[in-house]
Amino acid sequence: MINSLQGPAPVKIMASPGSKTALQMNALVYHGPGKKAWEKKPKPSILEPTDALVKISKTTICGTDLHILKGDVPEVTEGRILGHEGVGIIEETGSAVTEFKKGDRVLISCISSCGKCTYCKKGMYSHCEKGGWILGHLIDGTQAEYVRIPFADNSLYHVPKNADEEALVMLSDILPTAFECGVLNGQVKPGDTVAIVGAGPIGLAALITAQFYTPAEIILIDIDDNRLEVAKALGATHSINSTKEDAIVKIMRLTENKGVDVAIEAVGIPATFEFCQSIIGAGGHIANVGVHGKSVNLHLETLWSKNITITTRLVDTVTTPMLLKTVVSKKLDPAKLITHRFSLENILVAYDAFQNAATEKTLKVILTNE
């Protein structure tokens, strides 16, 4: 209750009885296009019985955060804490949370899902009627000391004992995104020739997870030689710098003019989607992963008779439990995508490194809440 006659109440009266924890925390806050600050925000609290409050241990910055900062995602309002990836420790749970308790180490999914709605029942968590991608988007996110996670039972995963927590941060978003939207939708098969357009963290995560299916060739296309070198080290059989050579001519030569079986688009601009249409072979799959802000041309005049499939998807994170097993068993090592480490309080420096990826040779950064 607010009694205006009493003037502003001292903040301390909001503490729960016996609470010794601080009521404020530090967080990376969006202040409109081009503006962000590391500043004090109220520590989140449990709002629904299905919530959990998580103290962040490690988080990261995503290309999507840069899109938000450019103003490309207008639903993100001023004052929003960014971030949708991370691992942490449960601080408190709502009364309806049964799978997690205080002190549990957890992996946070970028997708929050109620587990009960029509879409969740189809395994399409990304379109959950009450959740989906809301963290660091429609509700406050993980680039903070604490975060409130809705539908905790369905949106968190236990961190297995002795797991590499930095590697697990790659499982919040980039690994399931690249795998579900790129590799699964692209139907990568043994012996296939796969082209991955864009060698950023998502393209490289597609490269790593495509190898579950032993394709014969994986061709990475990018404009950054450093990223292409990393791609070679991670298993690409060919790399093409499209600013230095004609990528379409080279791919046609590599495939005896047949084109590729799978083209994974991991950039999100019209030129790269059109490029996929130019290199796809008969019966092939174009799997879009990129976030597009502009319409692109669909070349039905050449594609109508080629038996191709074009797919789109927002990550559902339904493969996270499987991917978690492969990382824990060291069949997959996504920690190879981590190039920079910072303490969480130096997140502005980390943003600079992430934004200047070409000169800083940045892929994924890890931010540790010390």
Site string (111-130) toward Zn ion, x via CB under 5 A: ---x--x--x-------x--
SS3 per residue for the chain: CCCHHHCCCCHHHHCCCCCCCCCEEEEEEECCCCCEEEEEEECCCCCCCCCEEEEEEEECCCHHHHHHHHCCCCCCCCCCECCCCEEEEEEEECCCCCCCCCCCEEEECCCECCCCCHHHHCCCHHHCCCCECCECCCECCCCECEEEECCHHHHEEECCCCCCHHHHHCCCCHHHHHHHHHHHCCCCCCCCEEEEECCCHHHHHHHHHHHHHCCCEEEEEECCHHHHHHHHHCCCCEEEECCCCCHHHHHHHHCCCCCEEEEEECCCCHHHHHHHHHHEEEEEEEEECCCCCCCCCCCHHHHCCCCCEEECCCCCCCCHHHHHHHHHCCCCCHHHHEEEEEEHHHHHHHHHHHHCHHHHCCCEEEEECC
Query: In this chain, which of 50, 59, 64, 317 binds Zn ion, going by CB under 5 A?
Result: 64
Q: State the minimum distance, in angstroms, from the CB of residue 125 to Zn ion.
A: 7
196 by Cβ neighbours in 10 Å (0-12 / 13-18 / 19+) ranks as buried
Distance CA(172)–CA(81), nearest Å, equals 17
Q: State the minimum distance, in angstroms, from the CB of residue 226 to Zn ion.
A: 21
Site string (151-190) toward Zn ion, x via CB under 5 A: ----------------------x-----------------
Nearer to Zn ion, 275 or 351 (CB): 351
> 68 with 106: CB under 8 angstroms?
no
Nearer to Zn ion, 64 or 317 (CB): 64
Nearer to Zn ion, 92 or 173 (CB): 173
Nearer to Zn ion, 254 or 289 (CB): 289
Q: State the minimum distance, in angstroms, from the CB of residue 205 to Zn ion.
A: 11
Q: State the minimum distance, in angstroms, from the CB of residue 62 to Zn ion.
A: 3
Q: State the minimum distance, in angstroms, from the CB of residue 129 to Zn ion.
A: 5
Q: Is 62 in the site for Zn ion (CB under 5 A)?
A: yes
Q: State the minimum distance, in angstroms, from the CB of residue 221 to Zn ion.
A: 22
Nearer to Zn ion, 170 or 251 (CB): 170
On the CB side of 244, CA atoms within 13 Å amount to 9
Q: Tell me how many residues contact Zn ion (CB under 5 A).
A: 7
Q: State the minimum distance, in angstroms, from the CB of residue 67 to Zn ion.
A: 10
State both tokens at 168.
């697990």
> 23 with 10: CB under 8 angstroms?
no
Nearer to Zn ion, 151 or 342 (CB): 151
Map the footprint of Zn ion across residues 297-326, applying CB under 5 A: none
Nearer to Zn ion, 125 or 275 (CB): 125
Q: State the minimum distance, in angstroms, from the CB of residue 216 to Zn ion.
A: 30
Q: State the minimum distance, in angstroms, from the CB of residue 276 to Zn ion.
A: 22
Query: Measured at CB, which residue is nearest to Zn ion?
Result: 62
Nearer to Zn ion, 111 or 279 (CB): 111
Nearer to Zn ion, 62 or 323 (CB): 62
User: Of 45-53, 59-67, 93-101, 237-245, which part binds Zn ion (CB under 5 A)?
Assistant: 59-67
Question: Interface with Zn ion by CB under 5 A: which residues?
Answer: 62, 64, 114, 117, 120, 128, 173
